[in-house]
Chains A and B, each alone.
Chain A
Amino acid sequence: DTAVSQTPKYLVTQMGNDKSIKCEQNLGHDTMYWYKQDSKKFLKIMFSYNNKELIINETVPNRFSPKSPDKAHLNLHINSLELGDSAVYFCASSQGALFTDTQYFGPGTRLTVL
Chain B
Amino acid sequence: AQTVTQSQPEMSVQEAETVTLSCTYDTSESDYYLFWYKQPPSRQMILVIRQEAYKQQNATENRFSVNFQKAAKSFSLKISDSQLGDAAMYFCAYRLPYSGNTPLVFGKGTRLSVIA
Q: Show the binding face of A for B, using Cβ within 8 Å.
A: 31, 33, 35, 40-45, 48, 50, 55-56, 58, 88, 90, 92, 97-100, 102-108, 110
Contacts and interface: CB of A to CB of B under 8 A. Distances in A.
User: What secondary structure prevails in chain A residues at the interface with B?
Assistant: strand
Interface of B: 32-33, 35, 37, 39, 42-47, 50, 52, 89, 91, 93, 95-98, 100-106, 108-109
Given A99-B32, A100-B52, A45 B44 contact: no
A8 B91 CA distance: 24
A58 B103 contact: yes
A44 B103 CA distance: 9
B104 A103 contact: yes
16 contacts: A41-B89, A41-B109, A42-B106, A43-B45, A45-B103, A56-B101, A92-B45, A99-B32, A99-B102, A100-B33, A102-B50, A103-B104, A105-B37, A105-B44, A106-B44, A110-B43
